[in-house]
Amino acid sequence: MRSVSKANDGVELIQKFLMDILKNKDLIRVTAMSKILDSMNKQMAMISGLAGGIAGISLLVAGVGVMNIMLVSVTERTREIGIRKSLGANKGAIMQQFIIEAAVTSSIGGIIGILFGCSATALVGKAAGVTAHPALNAVVIAFGSFCCHWPVFRVYACQESCRFKSHRCIKKRLNI
């Protein structure tokens, strides 16, 4: 049967036929596969939404962690920042350095994460005995969220690097 309405008509015919034979409604249960498929699709949508929510929380936690690491990096490099400022580097040049570093490290991390996810998908699929390939839209969404994610958390740390005064940076690192 090609359509849902025909399937429902078939279910009614089978139920009527079995009711005529068995005469007990409790013994009969006829279900169209379309209803089971609809139920499974709803469950899969719910699981996908839950997984997406967990992934979003993971991205938030990772972003805060990376921001803290970058703030430590900025703090550890106060002498370098002070020397660059005393040699005439403006805020834009220092900001550009930290943003480029953030972009490169984030890109490498994003690519490693995508490669790990694709490999894990293939390995789990092989272990389960099915052919599993990562969905292209999942890879695009992952890379897109990473591209939108890194500037939000890294720009703050980069701005902090520009706040330092050159003489204080050098003085702080030399313990004067």
pLDDT the model gives residue 173: 55
For residue 21, give both structure tokens.
Answer: 């034979």
For the chain, the domains span: 55-174
Measured CA angle at 94 (ends 78, 150), to 5 deg: 100
User: 3-class SS at 133?
Assistant: coil
pLDDT the model gives residue 168: 62
Return d(Cα 78, Cα 92) in angstroms, integer. Answer: 16
- With contact defined as beta carbons under 8 Å apart, do 150 and 102 qualify? yes
Helix (H) or strand (E) holding 107: helix 91-128
> Average pLDDT of each block of 10 consecutive residues along the chain (176 residues)?
70 85 81 82 88 80 79 78 82 82 79 87 87 81 74 72 64 58
pLDDT the model gives residue 42: 92
pLDDT the model gives residue 175: 58
For residue 9, give both structure tokens.
Answer: 């008509």
- Compute the radius of gyration of the chain from its Cα atoms: 29
